[in-house]
A and B are shown apart, each in its own frame.
Chain A
Amino acid sequence: MSKPILIVEDLTVYYYTLKGIVRAVEEASLKAYSSDLVALVGESGSGKSTLGYALLNLVPPPGRIVKGRVIVNGVDVLSLRGDELRKARGSLISMVFQDPFTTLDPVRRVGDQILEVLLEHGVPLEEARERVVEVIRAVGLPERMARAYPHQLSGGQRQRISIAAAIALKPRVLVADEPTTALDVIVQKQIMDLLDDVRKTTGMAIILITHDIALAAERATKIAVMYAGKIVEYGPKDKVIGDPLHPYTKALLKSVPDIESREWPRPIPGTPPDLRKPPSGCRFHPRCPLAMDICKRKSPNIVEVEPHHYVSCWLYEGGEASG
């Protein structure tokens, strides 16, 4: 394979709240290549959205990126400051958000909102106007919609506009934070088709943040499973879904209802830990059916068990694969 388009190394994000330090993301590492769709799955509060924001160096206070690197197309986003950082957002790495009902400014025409993004990145007016039309067509909307106000559009149409604004500058990486959660299933499918189309035609890598494992299984090329701020397993979709290694991934897959199987979904016992005081050692050990002594004492490293398939679990540390 060619060089990765996105390299995330040891990314660590803490929230410094009055009630203590919340260790939201701990030493997350990822790689994504051109046209990849990496699904970041995990429960609410597992840190997946925080990780998404961190990729744009956009963690809201009191959050802070403690360490790590985010390299997009050879540029370390976290080392950028001021105007350079601002320009990298949108043109190098961009983001689409969950709720299309609040992501657009209600008092301005949607075309102008896309135009603004282009102009603020130094695209000349004439060219920017043409790009707006182009990109609105590219997301499958008629050109005249540029003149509409957000309230005149449906949820799906608004999400298309949000995507149009996010990809207008042809960024190399697009972070999509639950882009379909607020939409009904038919529109969900259309939006996912659109994102698929975008990444295949432009080679953009998409980081899809979702709690919907079925969606990840269907659309992603790679899946990263997050638990309590850590990436516990990461690899090609077929491996992670078809042959999961980490006990959490296994439990997670069993907790999802499956219409074809006769088995009942099985919830994971216990609750996710309080990230102000994460458990010692492996953060999953209190809920893990296979927990060993060492799991309580030491945190496992993330190791490449088979090519491109990484897992962070004492069962695999040292490379010996066992069930």
Chain B
Amino acid sequence: MVEILSKALTRILSTIIPSRVSGRGRALVYAGLAIVLAIVFMAIAAPLLTPYDPTRRAGRSFQPPSWEHPFGTNNLGYDMWARTVYGARTVLIVVFLSIVLSMAMGVPLGLFSGYYGGRIDRALSMLMDAIYAFPSLVLAISLAVALGPSLFNAAIAIAVVYVPTYFRMVRGQVLSIKEELFVEVARALGIPTSRIIFRHILPHLIPTIMVVFSLSAADAVLTEAALSYLGLSVQPPTPDWGYDLYKGKGFVLSGYWWLIFFPGLMITLLATGFALIGEGLSEQIRRERL
């Protein structure tokens, strides 16, 4: 549901500006950046934004949104606004960790595999395709179950899922860039291979890596939410949007809509923000290549 919503939002925002407008890509990037940076700010400045502790009772249970409790309170009387701002920390840490981990694995492997080719390349490609063939959520869930619920394990589970995305993208680009004449020249002039890979090939990949980075970050937000919804990420009472969504769902029929509305909204917003950055960047790249 959340995923569909986030995709729909991205689609709507990116169709508001017609694709003919030259600044469209940039506008999408700025919109996405605004959302993501606002949430990052929330995470950093959490103690300044709320007087309440997200893991302590702040008042009566099930209070609807008010000036006192802008997002209401939950069944335990925790302030939902406090849980939302502190929850941003959890999701950002998991997403950041997992993306950095998968990039740190996928990018170098893709570089070497693409550059050297041969048997190692075939073996690695097969392994990556095998991982890629799994539905990503199912794979993340099974890994998280196997590793045991914790913030760090959730990050690893998500990271593994996105390694093939980086690997395939980087490898494909390397295959084409290594045929460029300037790579041949570098070889003819005695530049060491490692330097050719990191100084002559890698810089050309940075734009594409940025796109994959933000698109997979958007995905990772949703996966993290799913994992913590299932109780496979951080453990309560640590604030986390996915977990709050799960807890809140039980009370929806009693009319306490704010318990799921705000966590859901935040997940959607953050995923949309990353997706917008990715869309905008890839639009920019496509435009430059025309």
A105 to B203, CA, bound (A): 10
The answer to whether A208 has its CB under 8 Å from any CB of chain B is no
Contact B188 A94 (CB under 8 A): yes
Place the interface of chain B in its size category.
10 to 19
Contact A120 B204 (CB under 8 A): no
The answer to whether A86 has its CB under 8 Å from any CB of chain B is yes
Contact A107 B188 (CB under 8 A): no
Contact B181 A102 (CB under 8 A): yes
Q: Using a CB-CB cutoff of 8 Å, which residues 177-197 of chain B contact chain A?
A: 180-182, 184-192, 195
* Smallest beta-carbon distance B32→chain A, Å: 25
The answer to whether A180 has its CB under 8 Å from any CB of chain B is no
* Chain A hits for B180, CB < 8 A: 102
* Cβ contact of B189, chosen from A83, A106, A108, A166, cutoff 8 A: A166
* Chain A hits for B199, CB < 8 A: 108, 116
Residue of A nearest to B203 (CB): A107
Q: A102-B181, A107-B203 are in contact. Are A117 and B190 (CB under 8 A)?
A: yes
Residue of B nearest to A101 (CB): B181
* Smallest beta-carbon distance A257→chain B, Å: 31
A104 to B181, CA, bound (A): 8
A120 to B193, CA, bound (A): 11
CB 8 Å contact bits of A85-115 with B (1 = contact, 0 = none)? 0111111001101010011111110000000
Q: A116-B199, A120-B195 are in contact. Are A103 and B182 (CB under 8 A)?
A: yes
* Cβ contact of A102, chosen from B182, B186, B195, cutoff 8 A: B182
The answer to whether A56 has its CB under 8 Å from any CB of chain B is yes
* Chain B hits for A116, CB < 8 A: 191, 195, 199
Contact B204 A107 (CB under 8 A): yes
The answer to whether B247 has its CB under 8 Å from any CB of chain A is no
Contact B188 A89 (CB under 8 A): yes
Across the A-B interface, how many residue pairs have beta carbons closer than 8 Å?
62
A58 to B203, CA, bound (A): 24
A121 to B180, CA, bound (A): 23
A106 to B182, CA, bound (A): 9
CB 8 Å contact bits of A6-45 with B (1 = contact, 0 = none)? 0000000000000000000000000000000000000000
Residue of B nearest to A104 (CB): B182
* Smallest beta-carbon distance B125→chain A, Å: 18
A105 to B185, CA, bound (A): 9
The answer to whether A165 has its CB under 8 Å from any CB of chain B is yes
Residue of A nearest to B181 (CB): A102
* Chain A hits for B182, CB < 8 A: 102-106
Contact A117 B191 (CB under 8 A): yes
A8 to B130, CA, bound (A): 49
The answer to whether B200 has its CB under 8 Å from any CB of chain A is yes
Contact B188 A90 (CB under 8 A): yes
Contact A99 B181 (CB under 8 A): yes
* Cβ contact of A86, chosen from B184, B185, B192, cutoff 8 A: B192
Contact B184 A165 (CB under 8 A): no
Contact B181 A56 (CB under 8 A): no
Residue of B nearest to A175 (CB): B188
Residue of A nearest to B187 (CB): A58
The answer to whether A162 has its CB under 8 Å from any CB of chain B is yes
A18 to B218, CA, bound (A): 44
Residue of B nearest to A168 (CB): B189
| Residue from B188, B189, B192, B203 whose CB has the most chain A CB atoms within 10 Å | B189
* Chain B hits for A108, CB < 8 A: 199, 203
A88 to B189, CA, bound (A): 9
A166 to B184, CA, bound (A): 13
* Chain B hits for A107, CB < 8 A: 203-204
Contact A91 B188 (CB under 8 A): no
A116 to B190, CA, bound (A): 10
Q: A97-B181, A102-B180, A102-B182 are in contact. Are A120 and B190 (CB under 8 A)?
A: yes
Q: Closest 4 CB pairs between A and B?
A: A90-B190, A89-B190, A95-B188, A90-B189
Question: Residues on A close to B: CB < 8 A?
Answer: 56, 58, 83, 86-91, 94-95, 97, 99, 102-108, 116-117, 120-121, 162, 165-166
Q: List 29 A-B contacts (CB under 8 A).
A: A56-B188, A58-B184, A58-B188, A83-B192, A86-B191, A87-B190, A88-B190, A89-B187, A89-B188, A90-B189, A90-B190, A95-B185, A97-B181, A97-B184, A102-B182, A103-B181, A103-B184, A103-B185, A104-B185, A105-B182, A107-B203, A108-B203, A116-B195, A117-B190, A120-B190, A162-B185, A165-B185, A166-B188, A166-B189
Q: A91-B190, A105-B182, A120-B191 are in contact. List 17 more A-B contacts (CB 8 A).
A: A86-B191, A87-B190, A89-B187, A89-B190, A94-B189, A95-B188, A97-B181, A97-B184, A102-B180, A103-B182, A103-B185, A104-B185, A107-B204, A108-B203, A117-B191, A120-B190, A162-B185
